[in-house]
Amino acid sequence: MRAVTLASIRAHLPRLIASTLAIVIAVGFVVATLVLNETSRATVLDAVGAPYVGADAVVTSDDGTGLDDELDRIAALDGVAAVDATWESGVQALLPGRTGQQYLLAESVADAPALRWQVVADGELPDAPGEIAVSERTGAAVGDTFPLTSFAPDGTERSSSVTVTGVVDLGGDPTSGIYGRVWGTAEQLRAWGAVDPTELRVAGADGVPAGDVVQQVGAALADRQVLVRTGTEQAEVEAARLTGDTMALTAVLLVFATVAVLVAGLVIANTFAVLLAQRTRELALLRCVGATARQVRRSVLGEAALTGLAASALGVLAGIGLAAGVSAVAEAADSPVPLSGLSVPLVAVVAGLAVGTATTLLAALAPARGATKVAPLAALRPVDPEPLRSRGGVLRLVLGLLLLVPGVLLMGVGVALADVLIALPGGALSFLGVVLLAQRAVPPVVGAVGRLAARLGGVPGRLAAGNATRNPRRTAATATALLIGVTLTTAMVVGAASTRATAQAGLAAQYPTDVIVQGDGTMPASLPGRLAEVDGVVAASSLTAATVTGPDGEETGVSGLDAATAAPVLRSTGDVPIPAAGEVVLPWWADSSWGIPAGGDVTFTAGGRTATLTALYGDVERPTLPVAELAALAPEAAVDTVWLRLADDADHTDVIDQVTDIAGAAMPFAFVTGMANERAAIDSVLDVLLLVVTGLLGVAVVIALIGVGNTLALSVVERRQENGLLRALGLTRTQLRGLLAWESALVAGVAALLGVLLGSFYGLVGVASVLGSYGELVLSMPWLQVGAIVLVATVAGLLASVLPARRAARTPPVAAIAG
Amino acid sequence: MPVPVMTVPGEQSESLSGAAVRAAGLRKTYGGGETAVHALAGVDVAFARGEFTAIMGPSGSGKSTLMHCLAGLDAATAGQVWLGDTELTSLRDDQLTALRRQRIGFVFQAFNLLPVLPARENIVLPMQLAGQRPDPVWFDDVVARLGLRERLGHRPHELSGGQQQRVAIARALLPRPDVVFADEPTGNLDSRSGAEVLGLLRSSVKETGQTVVMVTHDPSAAAYADRVVLLADGRLAGELTDPTAASVLDALRDLGA
Ligand SMILES: Nc1ncnc2c1ncn2[C@@H]1O[C@H](COP(=O)(O)OP(=O)(O)OP(=O)(O)O)[C@@H](O)[C@H]1O
Ligand SMILES: [Mg+2]
């Protein structure tokens, strides 16, 4: 039988390779994820551990108090060549080319050359107070001089001028992009407010192993509450602190990899089923000439194991290649993700091979069992397609419903209680049920849509509709693989759209103004106009201010709001109502200090004039009344605040910079605040997340589409005689290609359609259960994107038919007779 | 009674316009060099309109190959084929395809029908491919003659072998093609169903003037034809008119088959 297995693999090799492409991709995904994770860990270790790898021992304590008292004791030890205390502090500096002060992390450089870990890109490390080295993030260059503000422990500010002597390259340190860093001498750092060192780094004498140094230092400090580690250990500790997030990312990636593997398993199972169905006669012939059922099964499984292993090996290579590519791109693009070089852990290779081979074997199990059941007589009669109402079908139906019904109920409870921890298992259960039931649901839908295709596509359309439903199991399995990918993608897209809408609505209600420019006193008259003209500002409204006497006889500041200009500026008037004539919006504090109920009358007086207004309450800082009424009450009221609304597609950071510059030039103490940046940040975070997740799920969709192409290619082989007959009877090549295109589009389109419906449902349920507890939920259906998903999947299905169709079109008409 | 017409390759003769199909200098070679197989080694043959011809010969003599070349299913290595006034060997694939669906009917030994379509759809398929509607009167006539009226809604796997062959014949006759080619149409049938199918082909020639060319191994099947053309080693090896089972058997024995 081994000879048969090998001969069979050889004979079907091209087809097997094509069909295991799914496994290659899925394994590649898994391996790339693991390799990138390891690479990132190694990179972080390299960068974060840089201060420690040169040190033989590192001494840390909970708060660092009194560590510097031990310097002399440690330095005196036999095995110690040098010891250095690290001092840290925070300072603010007006960096060259910037208009505002920046927060910088300051750190001391060691005196001993052995303990200086900083890699200098330009210039040299500082030697004296007043000299500093900077990280590249600061943008400063050697020779630059700028003012720097430091804070004493008691909070008093001190300004001094510093000169840059060197620029430090921090390599792949993931924190290097967050804030700028500066280095000075230890003396300088103490002057900048550092009280206690954060750690002591010790260099051992020549030839003394790190372990001994640690032991000596540990013994010397036995009386103190300190931790002594080797430099390598300390580096690991520091790296672990930072890579916690990366591990979470890896976990998420592995979830997607699991989806890819699952879909690949479905595709492989289907491919094997088709391959074996085509070989029913061959297998039956083996049975006829005396092979036992066991032998046939072993032969089939052996074939699966070998192809699975080969495909997994290819997948491992592909994954490593992919990781190398991503790492190279990340490094070249200076991305904040810590990736440089490539570290391939053995576990990634082993896991890749194991997952791929096991998936292939598992996927081949059911078809192999079916093949074993082939009666020897099957060699002598044509094969009937398996009826749908088999025992396995009933089992599937029952199991599917058993999963679906409670799953949906759980999801309902999860939405009602707004508890994602209830909805999530419900979603998982019901989706498994859906996958099982798809076997039964897909063929009728394909049939129904097929009747439509038959009307549109003429004879090829009609034949395609018939072909797509002639083997319901195969069609269902092919469609299910695609359905999984499309469902998950759609759920993400719909979920993200609703999350965005909910977050933006919440933000708009809470902070209805994009940008608020507040002056320190009266604004120059030209300023509001100039702010309104800034590119990206779509609406502006000026608020006047005056001081009047409130109902309690105390003076109070009030604002005048122009309803006509304010309405288009505010994104929501839910929390900040616009006062109509005769109304005033009071801040919440007025309720308790003035004791005026909503709807009550408030009287303000100024210079003998009075105004009595109806009270409303809202999120305002000062009582706010219509600008005309304030002008009547206090004619001296002048503009002190401008509200701006920014265009949704504007670069908000850029616009705010311009606004800050203009306001700052006109009024040095102008204060610019607003939610525009947060709004844009939420959008861009969601956009990036969505892009990444869609890309990852795209892998599953691609695998499923390979499955569509595969099934079709195998059907083409199977229907060679039939296609020959069609050609003999007058079907042109183009029509034959059209037939396959219709068939493929039909299966892919139906899978996409069902997937989008399911995915929308899951997406909305997910959002409702996750965000339901955070207040008002805004459901948003991204019709355009969802439509695009259906379109893309269908068109991709069409493309998947191109190669099989070319092959089919080459079928000569004589094939009808020759077989 | 039609007379077989032999021609010199390339010669155009007025007298041939009566032929539904003819071939001149037809050669078909498989492979090349040492191992080349000359399935057809120069065949000149003509089939008159309204004639029922049987092609016979030993296994491997090139009968099927000849039929495929005549029907535009396969390309000849050399020589020419005319269907009426149309020369086939110079046509492009699309033109050949269109010609097949409008002017040629086929009945094969097995696997004649598309499994996904019911009998009715199978019968009208070539006309639909050509974008034509079958004449309902003619359709009813053909279906009635072939006794398929009750079977039109059935899929092929719900039909017996004889019924399947009758559906195939109905499909071949429906577009009123210039010629119907049949390759061992009774090869898979018992003698009763076989006789039925042959009788139907015979009567379509008699009653509607259909031209039929049939390949067969069975002398009693050949006896239904007006004429038998004998083939051996890819060449014409004689012919019989008004054959009987006995005369066909004799002729075959002379060929050494
Ligand atoms: N595709 C092919 N490749 C190579 N040789 C072929 C091919 N098809 C046919 N032949 C050869 O051409 C010759 C004629 O074949 P053909 O099928 O026409 O014979 P036939 O008369 O129909 O025989 P049978 O009565 O057995 O059907 C045979 O020798 C056959 O081996
Ligand atoms: Mg033959």
User: From the CA atom positions of chain A, what is the Rg in Å?
Assistant: 36
pLDDT of B52 reads: 93
Burial of B176 (0-12, 13-18, 19+ CB in 10 A): middle
At B180 the pLDDT is 93
- Residue type at A213 in one-letter notation: V
Contacts of A512 (CB under 8 A, 6+ apart): A570, A571, A572, A573, A574, A575, A576
Tens digit of each residue's pLDDT (9 = 90 or more) over A51-105 = 787 788 888 877 667 777 777 888 888 888 888 888 888 887 877 776 656 678 8
- pLDDT for res B160: 85
pLDDT in the model for residue A26 = 82
- Please give the Cα distance from B19 to B48 (Å, whole number): 4
pLDDT at A303: 82
Other Cβ atoms less than 10 A from the Cβ of A117: the count is 17
Say if residues A64 and A199 touch (Cβ distance below 8 Å): yes
Distance in Å, CA B11 to ligand 1 centroid: 29
Name the residue among A470, A728, A819 with its Cβ closest to that of B100: A728
Mean pLDDT across B39-55: 92
Residue A384 has pLDDT above 50, yes or no: no
What are the sequence ranges of the domains in chain A?
520-669
- List the alpha helices (DSSP H) in B76-218: 93-103, 119-129, 136-145, 161-173, 191-208
> Model confidence at B5, in pLDDT bands (50, 70, 90)?
very low
For chain B, strand residue ranges (E) read 19-30, 37-48, 52-56, 78-83, 86-87, 104-107, 179-183, 212-215, 227-232, 235-241
Helix runs in A205-230, H state only:
210-220
What rounded mean pLDDT belongs to chain A? 80
Going by alpha carbons, the residue nearest to atom 11 of ligand 1 is B39
Q: Kindly write down the DSSP assignment for every residue of A576-600, as one continuous string.
A: SPPP-TTEEEEPTHHHHHH---TT-
Burial of residue A787 (CB within 10 Å: 0-12, 13-18, 19+) is exposed
pLDDT digits (tens, 9 = 90+) for B108-127: 877 778 777 788 988 988 88
Q: Report the Cα A182 to chain-centroid distance in Å.
A: 32
- Nearest by Cα to A528 from A676, A666, A635, A669: A666
3-class DSSP assignment, residue A145: strand
User: Around Cβ A742, how many Cβ atoms within 10 Å?
Assistant: 27
Q: Is the pLDDT of residue A211 over 80?
A: yes
Nearest to B168 by CA among B182, B158, B179: B182
Show the ligand 1 pocket: residues with CB < 6 angstroms: B 30, 37, 39, 57, 59-65
Please say if the pLDDT value at position A383 is more than 50: no
Q: How far is the CA of A810 from the centre of ligand 1 (A)?
A: 21
* Span A704-730, pLDDT tens digits: 888 778 777 777 777 777 888 888 888
Question: Using CA atoms, how far apart are residues A285 and B119, in angstroms rounded to an integer?
Answer: 32
- Structural contact between residues A14 and A310, judged by C-beta atoms closer than 8 angstroms: no
Name the closest-CA residue to atom 6, ligand 1.
Answer: B30
> Residue A228 is inside which H or E element, if any?
strand A226-230
pLDDT tier for residue A819 given thresholds of 50, 70 and 90: very low
The alpha-helical segments, DSSP class H, found in A587-651 are: 589-594, 627-633
Q: What average pLDDT does the segment A390-408 reach? A: 81
Q: What is the Cβ-side half-sphere exposure of residue B228, based on CA atoms within 13 angstroms?
A: 27
Q: Which of B40, B73, B74 to probe by mutation at the A interface, max A CB count within 10 Å? A: B73
Find the mean pLDDT for residues A461-481.
80
**Is the per-residue pLDDT at B1 higher than 60?**
no
Sign of CA dihedral A30, A35, A38, A43: negative
Cβ contact, residue pair B108, A735, below 8 Å: no
Amino acid at A189: L
| Contact state of A459 with B128 under an 8 Å Cβ cutoff | yes
pLDDT at position A288 is 62
Residue A629 tokens read as 């009424």
Of the two residues A49 and A361, the one the predictor is more confident about is A361
What's the CA gap between A346 and A340, in Å, rounded?
A: 19
Residue A493, token pair as written in the block: 């897209």
Q: Which atom of ligand 1 is nearest to the CA of B215?
A: 22
Of A523, A628, A619, A518, nearest in space to A571 by CA? A619
Residue B185 · residue B107 · CB < 8 Å: yes
C-alpha–C-alpha distance, residues A655 and A650, integer Å: 7
Is residue A421 within 8 A of residue A477, CB to CB? The reply is no
Q: State the fold for domain B49-72+92-256.
A: Rossmann fold (3.40.50)
Please give, rounded to a whole number of angstroms, the shortest distance from the CA of B99 to a CA of chain A. 8
pLDDT in tens, B165-210: 889 889 898 988 999 999 888 887 788 888 888 988 898 898 888 9
The answer to whether A735 contacts B129, with C-beta atoms less than 8 Å apart, is yes
Give the best residue of B129, B174, B184 to mutate against chain A (max A CB count within 10 A): B129
**Distance from the alpha carbon of residue B253 to the mean position of ligand 1, in angstroms:** 21
Region A320-332: what's the mean pLDDT? 79
Most confident residue range from A22-26, A345-349, A381-385, A754-758:
A754-758
Give the β-pairing of A145-151 and A88-93: antiparallel
To test the contact with chain B by mutation, choose from A729, A733, A735, A740 the residue with the greatest count of B C-beta atoms within 10 A, namely: A729
B23: β partners: B45, B81
Tokens of A312: 């997994």
Per-residue pLDDT averaged across A380-392, rounded?
Answer: 47
- CA distance linking residue A633 with residue A590, whole number of Å: 20
Q: Could you report the per-residue pLDDT of B128-149, keeping only the tens digit for each? A: 877 888 889 989 988 888 888 8
Write the CA distances from A109 to A126, A132, A171, A185, B204, integer angstroms. Answer: 8, 10, 17, 6, 107
**Closest residue CA from atom 13 of ligand 1:** B39
What is the predicted pLDDT for the residue at A419? 78
Q: What is the pLDDT of residues B199-250, one digit of tens each?
A: 888 988 988 889 999 999 899 999 999 999 999 999 998 888 888 888 988 8
State mean pLDDT over A336-364: 80
CA separation (Å) from A9 to A179, A499, A690, A707? Answer: 59, 50, 42, 20
Specify the residue for token string 């099947």.
Answer: B221
Q: How many CB atoms lie within 10 A of CB A781?
A: 15
Residues shown for chain A: 819
Q: Are the C-beta atoms of A659 and A516 separated by less than 8 Å?
A: no
CB-defined contacts A:B, below 8 A: 75
Least confident interval from A311-320, A449-458, A626-635? A449-458
Contact yes or no for A371/A296 (Cβ under 8 A): yes
pLDDT-wise least confident of A295-299, A624-628, B88-92: A295-299
> Hey, how many other C-beta atoms are within 10 angstroms of the C-beta on B89?
17
Query: pLDDT tier at A289 (50, 70, 90 boundaries)?
Result: low
Q: Please tell me the predicted confidence (pLDDT) of residue B13.
A: 42
Residues 727-746 of A with CB under 8 A from B: 727-735
> What's residue B24's pLDDT?
92
The C-alpha angle with vertex B150 and arms to B149 and B154, in degrees rounded to 5, equals 110
pLDDT at A256 over 90: no
Q: Cβ separation of B129 and A729 shorter than 8 Å?
A: yes
Q: Is B97 exposed, middle or buried (0-12, 13-18, 19+ CB in 10 A)?
A: buried
Bridge partners (DSSP) of residue A162 are A146
Q: Residue A438's pLDDT is what?
A: 83
Question: What's the average model confidence in pLDDT over A370-387?
Answer: 54
Interatomic CA distance for residues A101 and A242, integer angstroms: 27
Do the chains contact at B111 and A732, CB–CB below 8 Å? no
* pLDDT of A185 above 60: yes
| Residue A405: closest CA among A433, A441, A440 | A433
Interface of B with A (CB under 8 A): 64, 68, 71, 73-74, 93-94, 97-98, 100-102, 106, 108-109, 111-112, 114-117, 121, 125-126, 128-130, 157, 171, 183
Mean pLDDT of A353-376: 80
B129–A459 C-beta distance less than 8 A: yes
Nearest CA to ligand 1 atom 5: B30
Which ligand 1 atom sits nearest the alpha carbon of residue B231? 21
Query: pLDDT higher for A20 or A214?
Result: A214
Upper half-sphere CA count for residue B138 (Cβ side, 13 Å): 15
- Residue with more model confidence, A56 or A155: A56
Percent above pLDDT 90 for chain A: 2
Q: Which residue in chain B has the smallest CA separation from A461?
A: B129
Considering only the beta carbons, identify the residue of A467, A725, A733 that sits closest to B111: A725
The mean per-residue pLDDT over the stretch A421-433 comes to 84
Taking the CB of residue A588, how many other CB atoms lie within 10 A of it?
10
Strand-strand pairing, A102-108 and A88-93:
antiparallel
Q: Where is A16: in which H helix or E strand?
A: helix A2-48
Neighbours of A116 (CB within 10 A): 16
Determine the pLDDT at residue A242: 64
Could you give the CA distance from residue A591 to residue A596 in angstroms, rounded to a whole number?
6
Between CA A755 and CA A601 the distance in angstroms is 59
- Alpha-carbon distance A560 to A581, whole Å? 11
The pLDDT, as a whole number, for residue B179 is: 93
Has residue A300 got a pLDDT over 90?
A: no
Q: Please enumerate in sequence order all residues whose Cβ is within 8 A of that of A394, keeping only pairs 6 or more positions apart, or say none.
A: none
Nearest to A638 by CA among A747, A560, A750: A560
C-alpha distances (whole Å) from A101 to each of A96, A193, A709 are 10, 18, 60
Q: Is residue A159 classed exposed, middle or buried when 0-12, 13-18 and 19+ CB atoms within 10 A define those classes?
A: exposed
- Residue ranges with strand state E in A251-356: none
The tens digit of pLDDT for each residue in A542-589 reads: 888 888 888 888 888 889 998 888 888 888 777 778 888 888 998 888
Whether the CA torsion A545, A547, A552, A554 is positive or negative: it is: positive
Ligand nearest to the CA of B257: 1
Average pLDDT over residues A387-413: 78
* Alpha-carbon radius of gyration of chain B: 18
3 state SS of B36 = coil
| Residue ranges per structural domain of chain B | 49-72+92-256
Residue B158 DSSP code: G
Of B100, B108, B129, the CB nearest to A817: B108
Q: How confident is the model at residue B7 (pLDDT cuts 50, 70, 90)?
A: very low
pTM recorded for the entire structure? 0.65
| pLDDT band, residue A378 (cuts 50/70/90) | low
Lowest mean pLDDT segment, chosen from A489-503, A738-752, B59-73 = A489-503
